[in-house]
Amino acid sequence: MERSKFILDEKDMPTAWYNVQADLPEPLPPLRHPGTKEPTRLPPPLFPEAINEQEFSTERWIDIPEEVQAIYRTWRPTILHRAHRLEKALDTPAKIFFKYEGTSQAGSHKPNTAVAQAYYNKKEGIKRITTETGAGQWGSALAMGCAFFGIELKVYMVKVSYNQKPYRRNLMETWGAQCVPSPSPDTEVGRRILAEDPDSTGSLGIAISEAIEDAFARDDTKYSIGSVVNHVLLHQTVNGLETKKMMMEQADAYPDIIVGCVGGGSNFAGLFLPFVKDKLDGTKPDLRIINVEPTSCPTITKGVYAWDYGDVAGMAPIVLMHTLGHTFVPPPVHAGGLRYHGMAPIICHLHKLGFVEARAVNQLATFEAGVQFARTEGIVSAPETNHAIRVTIDEALKCKESGESKTILLAHSGHGHFDMAAYDAYLSGKLVDYEYPEEKVKEALKHLPEVPSA
């Protein structure tokens, strides 16, 4: 009998996060100040001190506070599955494993950092937090984290997703958060964008600007971000550490290929960073790590590697990353969590150094893969995750052609139970592909900040 799932006991859960900054062959370039554009190690006064320290830390292991571990234990460790039924349907000799983060209360990987961030804010006496959300997964996860620690939360939700996914807003409200569509009339940035374009569908870059402006305006408020930055990727490594232990100790396996979707990069980096460690130290030179993004928002595959702001209004620090330009507003694909102009600097740095690769896929093909996954493995996946499923299936089919029995590990970032409008559109033939919006990207790239050399 071949096992279908691998389960770790609560007592064997990781007690420290893995910080890849300790093992990078070249350090990450320092941030640039959004005003002076000079190199800075000083983060803006947006986050609690403990988070600021983690952002720049080069300690390899950072302890997970016991209070955070206790909350993690309410849904972690998550299960590592072997996709036997999908393998059979594809008639592939490949072995497909997937680590499923959809069993968190909020339905995705996002609570791994939401709970940690809410904890550090609470510890430093913060009463109120602001944030942005794309598809609503991050906003709902932070709403839950803030509910656990008694912190007020205001979420700026990208307008196209606010309209596509009303139940995500209800979920945030149930956990006690306030959620408004972005661009909103509540901030100066929002009012300016609405005056220029009353029909703006919004973007993560706009929503981030609104949340930052709101946090800067009040002494009792800090800002929290659900992806991109180093400390978020750090918190997500709890997942990769669990997975590595389960694969090596229980499944007697090690991946040849790891696949995940990337919006800002947090779910995928959380899974692959503990494995990339083995590539960095030369023990697993052949491991392939594939970042998957939408054709309509192809940050790594078509963007430039340049200094850019993390938000539309230029209030966030300037970072060196792959970018489509901070003013770029991506087409309204259903994978709202992948509509971001930039990418985690850690992923971009690893890409530049040749440790990870990237691929872009079209919306319709991702839903086709998601439906095949649902009909074989039973899980209805988030539209974001469907991007990773597409490439997993493509790689498994390549194995069928070549006869190779590769081990593929899929980062399954969440369920799609609040995304049924997207499935409805796909199943009724109304969903369309959005091609790469080359002209809009060209225009946005004209607005990159000029940064003096260090």
Q: Which long-range contacts (CB under 8 A, 24 or more apart) does 44-47 make?
A: 44/315, 44/316, 44/317, 46/212, 46/215, 46/216, 46/222, 46/223, 47/222, 47/223, 47/224, 47/231
Select from 258, 248, 252 the least CA-distant residue to 287: 258
Count of residues that interact with ligand PLP, criterion CB under 6 A:
20
Q: What is the DSSP string of 95-137?
A: EEEEEE-TTSTTSBSTHHHHHHHHHHHHHTT--EEEEEESSSH
Q: What is the helix, strand, coil percentage profile of the chain, to 5? A: 45, 20, 40
Work out how close the CB of 46 gets to ligand PLP at its nearest, in angstroms, rounded to a whole number: 18
Do the Cβ atoms of 175 and 115 come closer than 8 Å? no
What are the structure tokens assigned to 302, written together?
Answer: 């078509």
Among 144, 382, 431, 445, binds ligand PLP (CB under 6 A): 382
Is residue 21 a contact residue for ligand PLP (CB under 6 A)? Answer: no
Among 337, 345, 370, 437, binds ligand PLP (CB under 6 A): 337
Stretch of 16-24, 262-270, 274-282, 306-314 lying at the interface with ligand PLP (CB under 6 A): 262-270
Do the Cβ atoms of 266 and 234 come closer than 8 Å? no
- SS3 assignment, position 71: helix
Per-position x/- string for 134-163, each x denoting binding to ligand PLP as judged by CB under 6 A, each - no binding: xx-xx-------------------------
Work out how close the CB of 31 gets to ligand PLP at its nearest, in angstroms, rounded to a whole number: 19
Restricting to residues 413-442, name those near ligand PLP by CB under 6 A. Answer: 413-414
Is residue 113 a contact residue for ligand PLP (CB under 6 A)? Answer: no
Is residue 356 a contact residue for ligand PLP (CB under 6 A)? Answer: no
Q: Cα angle at 299 between 297 and 304, to 5 degrees?
A: 130
Our CB check for ligand PLP shows the closer of 337 and 399 to be: 337
Do the Cβ atoms of 173 and 152 come closer than 8 Å? no
Our CB check for ligand PLP shows the closer of 44 and 263 to be: 263
Work out how close the CB of 268 gets to ligand PLP at its nearest, in angstroms, rounded to a whole number: 6
Our CB check for ligand PLP shows the closer of 162 and 406 to be: 162
Our CB check for ligand PLP shows the closer of 134 and 325 to be: 134
Work out how close the CB of 233 gets to ligand PLP at its nearest, in angstroms, rounded to a whole number: 9
Is residue 241 a contact residue for ligand PLP (CB under 6 A)? Answer: no
> CA 382, CA 317: separation in Å to the nearest integer?
30
Our CB check for ligand PLP shows the closer of 119 and 268 to be: 268
Our CB check for ligand PLP shows the closer of 300 and 338 to be: 338
Stretch of 123-131, 170-178, 186-194, 380-388 lying at the interface with ligand PLP (CB under 6 A): 380-388
Do the Cβ atoms of 225 and 256 come closer than 8 Å? no
Our CB check for ligand PLP shows the closer of 144 and 262 to be: 262
Stretch of 43-51, 147-155, 258-266, 390-398 lying at the interface with ligand PLP (CB under 6 A): 258-266
> CA 321, CA 304: separation in Å to the nearest integer?
8
Indicate the residue whose CB is closest to ligand PLP: 337
Work out how close the CB of 337 gets to ligand PLP at its nearest, in angstroms, rounded to a whole number: 2
Work out how close the CB of 21 gets to ligand PLP at its nearest, in angstroms, rounded to a whole number: 18
Our CB check for ligand PLP shows the closer of 116 and 382 to be: 382
> CA 334, CA 342: separation in Å to the nearest integer?
18
> CA 64, CA 18: separation in Å to the nearest integer?
10
Among 265, 298, 342, 437, binds ligand PLP (CB under 6 A): 265
Among 140, 227, 295, 366, binds ligand PLP (CB under 6 A): 227
Q: What residue type is assigned to position 273 of the chain?
A: L
> CA 142, CA 122: separation in Å to the nearest integer?
13
Q: Which residues bind ligand PLP (CB under 6 A)?
A: 108, 134-135, 137-138, 227, 261-267, 337-338, 382, 384-385, 413-414
